Structure 1
């Protein structure tokens, strides 16, 4: 197997608390090629954001206990110190945060913060950095970027703040961009504009992009592959079309069924029954077993006693005892389960 641009292997992130250890990420595996676009989806608490924060090195210096490997261009980022991580953060790996208003400093102008991000990784004058920041504001579609350079974050609309956040993340043209819920608080029209903007800038810079989102519609529109997380681990990963048309894991099937449909005149959503597992006390077997509608098809009690491995043929892999026990492809497994 050739080395990937990004290769996450058995990543585990634990947080000590007064109530016990929170196992936020439990053996996450992910590969990403240069220039590729993938989406990471799952319910709140599934480990999506913690995975991206760990990749950015934002948990260094905290109480988080991190193990496994994050191989970025062959270098393992997990053991790096805060000082060793700084050349990567912003320069090689950029991040669009979920809430730009809280991510930006309220006491500094938008332009100042963007130019400062540029100067951290480039030995240029303040004047040259300002020119780069104004150019970047123009590229992301901020009207009158020269005057807007001196505006504060609260003076921008939600869509403009998101554009400014994208400008800050891309000012150094990183090789990898992580977009954490980049369109959550935006209306549908602005959401489409932001997605088009990220895609066009990606084509200019050649960056790989990871979308962290709840929105399967966004994944279907802009991503090549999808990674489904549940209980801090990947339960299914595949080409987007293959994952949606030939779903291999019951949890992914539940997520797809919970999406609103134009064909349903009643407008009713189909929720996944039950609740995600407690990250303080993870079950011994499959993390989805208590909520799984097809666990009775497995001929023994493995769903409750054994943690299923991530397996499958080709690029479509899932973490389910059912497909393993039947010895069939993921698509045939789910057809048999219906």
Structure 2
């Protein structure tokens, strides 16, 4: 069930890391809105800022050397304004995360059931016995067979798919309002991947949790997401309803991503990679971050693609993109 009232609102998010080579501008003016019960997919190449954005949402950068500017409003509260102690109280209860590798995210010396029960007791004043019962019930809800016995097993005794289910159980045991899933199915085979995605959808329907899905798999986005935000060079370059955006992509980078996907039934068809490399995050260009790789800069005759950052505009499509072509098209329509 979805509502139109935004749960998450990111405004002009910037994240920089100091290094010996200079400041790394990992996220550059990210904006995003998500309603309760909805799923948004963050897509883009490695280094585009997807994971750093999710870490900023979780407040995992507060005790690092990173600088986080902008607003991350969760149900009206700016997460950037919270102290680390207050943020720890919110993690798990209000906002939770499924990590890409559950084996490294879970403690190897404690049983799976004990770790889920501990996560529950952090936010609920219950006995160990009661928390353990909740953990067993949650393992059953995520499809772990014989959950009472499996709760006493250690993470290395689970298969990859079972570990990911256990990670989902730990993330959802306190029924958070916002769930961040960072590449939750990357290391799984396609059959288990489909099961995990179906499970997330079913649990989302039960709890009304909003989901931010970080992934490089556009097929997964098309299957499970309501909205999509395409990231490049730390910026969101295009966002909108997933069906509308896939049907009519406006930004050249989005078009390149979709064109690079393999097509079923086209034996022998060559993949079409995007030529070139992403910009250096320590020396961002003055103009469009995609300009050096873009095959369409000739359509903007005044050369502004290399000298001026494009703004987010809604031009010829029903969703906004960050491209000078759309800016020019909007200006032309305004003069008619």
TM-score (norm 1): 0.95
In structure 2, the residue matched to 1:116 is: 118
Question: Do 2:291 and 2:305's aligned partners in 1 also have CA atoms closer than 8 Å?
Answer: yes
In structure 2, the residue matched to 1:189 is: 191
In structure 2, the residue matched to 1:23 is: 25
Correspondences of 1:161-240 after superposition (within 5 Å) = 161-240=163-242
Pick the aligned partner of 1:316 from 312, 315, 319. 319
Deviations 1:64-85 (A, max 9, x none): 1110000111111112110111
- Separation in 1, partners of 2:83, 2:330: 45
2:188 counterpart SS class: coil
1:86 counterpart SS class: helix
2:97 is the counterpart of 1:103 = no
CA shift at 1:328, angstroms? 7.8
2:48 is the counterpart of 1:46 = yes
In structure 1, the residue matched to 2:281 is: 279
Question: Do 2:5 and 2:35's aligned partners in 1 also have CA atoms closer than 8 Å?
Answer: no
- Separation in 1, partners of 2:140, 2:329: 56
2:18 counterpart SS class: strand
Question: Do 2:244 and 2:318's aligned partners in 1 also have CA atoms closer than 8 Å?
Answer: no
Correspondences of 1:294-333 after superposition (within 5 Å) = 294-312=296-314, 316-327=319-330
Count, aligned residues: 329
- Separation in 2, partners of 1:326, 1:209: 34
- Separation in 1, partners of 2:265, 2:311: 36
CA shift at 1:263, angstroms? 4.0
- Separation in 2, partners of 1:58, 1:315: 35
CA shift at 1:315, angstroms? 5.9
Question: Do 2:314 and 2:330's aligned partners in 1 also have CA atoms closer than 8 Å?
Answer: no
1:69 counterpart SS class: strand
Q: How has the CA–CA distance of structure 1 residues 75 and 315 changed in structure 2, closer, same or farther, with 3 Å as cutoff?
A: farther
Deviations 1:242-268 (A, max 9, x none): 101111100000000111112422142
2:90 counterpart SS class: coil
Question: Do 2:6 and 2:35's aligned partners in 1 also have CA atoms closer than 8 Å?
Answer: yes
In structure 2, the residue matched to 1:145 is: 147
Unaligned 5+ segments in structure 1 are: 330-338
1:159 counterpart SS class: helix
Q: How has the CA–CA distance of structure 1 residues 117 and 315 changed in structure 2, closer, same or farther, with 3 Å as cutoff?
A: farther
Question: Do 1:237 and 1:315's aligned partners in 2 also have CA atoms closer than 8 Å?
Answer: no
Unaligned 5+ segments in structure 2 are: none
CA shift at 1:87, angstroms? 2.2
In structure 2, the residue matched to 1:73 is: 75
- Separation in 1, partners of 2:113, 2:101: 18
In structure 2, the residue matched to 1:254 is: 256
CA shift at 1:179, angstroms? 0.8
- Separation in 2, partners of 1:28, 1:3: 20
2:313 counterpart SS class: coil
CA shift at 1:3, angstroms? 6.5
Deviations 1:210-233 (A, max 9, x none): 110000000000111110000001
1:191 counterpart SS class: helix
Pick the aligned partner of 1:84 from 77, 83, 86. 86
Question: Do 1:254 and 1:271's aligned partners in 2 also have CA atoms closer than 8 Å?
Answer: yes
Instruction: Tell me the C-alpha RMSD between the 2 structures.
Output: 1.5
